Structure 1
Amino acid sequence: MAPPSTSSPDDLQRVLARAARISRRSEDITPSEPVTETDNATLHRYGDPGDPPLLIIYSLVNRPAILDLSPDRSVVARLIEGGFCVYLLAWHPPGAARRYLGLADYILGDIADAVDWLADRHAALPHLLGVCQGGVLALCHAALAPERIRSLTTLAAPIDTGSTDDRLAQLARGVDFDALVASTGNITGQGLATVFASLKPFALGPQRYGGLAALADADDAALEAFMRMERWMYDGPDLAGRAFAEFAREIYQHNALMHDTLALDGLPVRLAAIETPVFNAWAEHDHLVPPAAAQALTRRTGGACRDYGLPGGHLGLFIGGRAHKQLYPALIDWLRSH
């Protein structure tokens, strides 16, 4: 049992007052520059353009700040230090006019365009790294165009949603997502944040804010990291209604990746078609993407797959000390060998 907190209400008041005085910093800790636009995203470059290219495909659900949260907990910075020129496809909020964007628009359009742009500019195939839902998007691209990438990395990607401990899949069962988006249009980021918080209410509620008082005497950098995390958790973008419905229906209701039933504009997505090397990582106590959901990729791809399970929860895979000391050095060594 954890020892009782020694923080007082005065500590909480002091830390809230300090938080209000801290100016909102740039979303990027690591310097970047936009290099091109696709239909629904901006491609940002981090690092030396002379290094081998690595393209990050992030989820449509949250903003990618979690990958660059602070100087000592930045996935982007680790990859740059590992000798890669990192690119991030930053999705544009869809707006009401783009409620009909589907998964094919993002995968066959934006991701394919970004991969082709990088291959042309670097005269080399890029490594592809997909995060959470972005891992599924990256897998779909790799299955449809495996010859266009050098390697594929997935971090907490939901592949097999048929396990009994997949709480998101359980929530999705019985929901008519097409009817939902027909009535709402786009899905709000605030609404999704509420759903995710409900899956772990104590850890993301009283426990988390009880810990906030402990930052009363911490430096501004620690408090700013906490506030950046808050913005990441509760200030997510809206999702295009059609893409949301397709993803929820195909991945969480039909388990389409495992059953080979997913198709994009009539093109069948088959994980066995991925013959490029794959690095597949997951968190062993992830409440959003349980280990069984991610581990299933190993037996489905057509090429070699390196597995990496990390103790801890979902967020620890990106900002945890163990991840930055163990996972990312292992990933960088693997990438260098491919």
Structure 2
Amino acid sequence: MYSYAMLAQMISDSIVRYQEGLMKTQELMRKNDVSVGSTPHDVIYVGRKIRLLHYKPVIDAKNLHPIPVIVTYALINKYYILDLQEDRSFVGNLIKQGFDVYMVDWGTPEPIDKHLTFDDYIGRYLDRLVDMVRDRSGAEKVTLLGYCQGGTMSIMYTALKQEKVANLVTIAPVIDTEKDTSVVANLCKSIDADRIIDTYGNLPAEFLHRFYMMLKPFSQGMYKYINLLDNLDDEYFVSNFLRVEKWLFDTPAIAGGLFKQWINDIYKGNLLVKGKFVLCGKRIDLKSIEVPLLNIVASDDHLVSPECSIPLNYHVSSEDKMLRVYNCGHIGLIASKLSQSKVLPEVGKWLRSKSSKRLEQIR
């Protein structure tokens, strides 16, 4: 057993090591050009700080799968978590499998954007980007692939504009928040979004930094820096660490109007599952969704409880729907060895089967 003196000394040593690791991280970030989002792409649209990226195929264009894939990430943090490094790039893997991949970069809202809501982001911006991809590719419909909040937004869009969507792939979407027992959900259900936004206009990025620290204060706020000190000689470990650190702190503000809806309507009201969420004047009914659905969930997700994501399969009317649960965490679904070896191959196999059916219909 440890004496109080021994425990006090261990805590003191840990604090010192944490401070050393934090200072070392700051030094390495200053000295190194931390490259992210390096998969070759063209920026084919820029408007209102939103960009549409088109990734360059690695196979002959005529052999690409006929249905383009539009990837939508959350408005929290930046899209390049899906392209963090070459050997664990989500979009890079899809490209190698022969898919025509586009990515939405939502950008960073400014004070003037404080009134933007889901009506703007989904009904205007995402719809415009979908039409651009349809025109550019010549495809009648697209596959929407959404991660986290981006998955929820892809679901909303599909219910609103189903005639433009061929397939829907969702990864850890926020759906039934009454069943979400995560720390994130508990915090979202307890905060006063109206007061925050009335004070600040948009949700400040600093709020999100502190929010993430509260989720895992020791593993994310202390021990990871100690772990860095123990692995300074491992160049691969250090480069990966710096990329993730860059992503964690590269947090945009969130438009005030949308943030209020996200907290009040989705988390507190659970209106999406109840069929009471209104988008562009239309009540979003999950039962109206009939397109093929692949819903991917992490069993150890600490950001979105699997019990929150799984109900999507019960609420849509799609006859062709699949649920896959992987033994990993939230980020593990899209930026890990497991993602590369298991998740993405299954996504590719599922999408290829839909492309084959589409080709048969065209013929």
Do they superpose with TM above 0.5? yes
Partners of 1:111 and 1:293 in 2: CA distance: 24
Q: CA deviation at 1:77?
A: 0.5
Q: Given the alignment of the two structures, is residue 268 of structure 1 paired with residue 283 of structure 2, yes or no?
A: yes
**Out of 147, 150, 158, which is 2:174 matched to?**
158
Q: Given the alignment of the two structures, is residue 175 of structure 1 paired with residue 168 of structure 2, yes or no?
A: no
1:227-251 deviation line (CA, Å, top 9, x unaligned) = 1111211220011111111111111
Does 316-325 or 23-32 show the bigger shift?
23-32
Residue 153 of structure 1 aligns to a residue whose secondary structure is strand
Residue 150 of structure 1 aligns to a residue whose secondary structure is strand
Residue 204 of structure 1 aligns to a residue whose secondary structure is helix
Residue 230 of structure 2 aligns to a residue whose secondary structure is helix
Runs ≥4 residues deviating over 4 A: 11-18
The residue aligned with 1:34 is: 43
Residue 276 of structure 1 aligns to a residue whose secondary structure is coil
Q: CA deviation at 1:300?
A: 0.8
Q: CA deviation at 1:13?
A: 9.2
Q: Given the alignment of the two structures, is residue 316 of structure 1 paired with residue 325 of structure 2, yes or no?
A: no
Q: Given the alignment of the two structures, is residue 186 of structure 1 paired with residue 195 of structure 2, yes or no?
A: no
CA contact (8 A) 1:310 1:323 kept: no
Q: CA deviation at 1:27?
A: 3.0
1:108-127 deviation line (CA, Å, top 9, x unaligned) = 01111111111111111221
Task: For 2:160, give the aligned amino acid.
Answer: L
CA contact (8 A) 2:34 2:246 kept: no
Partners of 1:282 and 1:17 in 2: CA distance: 34
Q: Which has the higher helix share?
A: 2
How many residue pairs match? The answer is 332
1:12–1:106 CA distance, 2 compared to 1 (3 A): closer
Residue 311 of structure 2 aligns to a residue whose secondary structure is helix
1:151-184 deviation line (CA, Å, top 9, x unaligned) = 1111111101102623323223343322320111
1:73-102 deviation line (CA, Å, top 9, x unaligned) = 110111101111211111121101111111
Q: CA deviation at 1:207?
A: 2.5
Does 290-299 or 49-58 show the bigger shift?
49-58
Partners of 1:66 and 1:237 in 2: CA distance: 14
The residue aligned with 1:297 is: 312
CA contact (8 A) 2:25 2:225 kept: no
With normalisation by structure 1, the TM-score equals: 0.92
Q: CA deviation at 1:23?
A: 2.6
Partners of 2:53 and 2:29 in 1: CA distance: 30
Task: For 1:282, give the aligned amino acid.
Answer: V
What are the within-5 Å matches in structure 2 for residues 74-89 of structure 1? 74-89=89-104
Q: CA deviation at 1:38?
A: 4.2
Does 20-29 or 137-146 show the bigger shift?
20-29
**Out of 3, 7, 32, which is 1:23 matched to?**
32
Partners of 1:321 and 1:138 in 2: CA distance: 26
The residue aligned with 1:337 is: 353
CA contact (8 A) 2:147 2:172 kept: yes
The residue aligned with 2:80 is: 65
Task: For 2:192, give the aligned amino acid.
Answer: D
Residue 251 of structure 2 aligns to a residue whose secondary structure is coil
Does 232-241 or 190-199 show the bigger shift?
190-199
1:108–1:21 CA distance, 2 compared to 1 (3 A): closer
Alpha-carbon RMSD: 2.3
Q: CA deviation at 1:225?
A: 2.0
Structure having the higher Rg: 2
Task: For 2:268, give the aligned amino acid.
Answer: Q
What are the within-5 Å matches in structure 2 for residues 148-297 of structure 1? 148-163=164-179, 165-219=181-235, 221-297=236-312
Q: CA deviation at 1:272?
A: 1.1
Partners of 1:31 and 1:326 in 2: CA distance: 24
CA contact (8 A) 2:290 2:316 kept: yes
CA contact (8 A) 2:79 2:104 kept: no
1:39-71 deviation line (CA, Å, top 9, x unaligned) = 451101112265341101110011012111111
Does 80-89 or 188-197 show the bigger shift?
188-197
The residue aligned with 2:125 is: 110
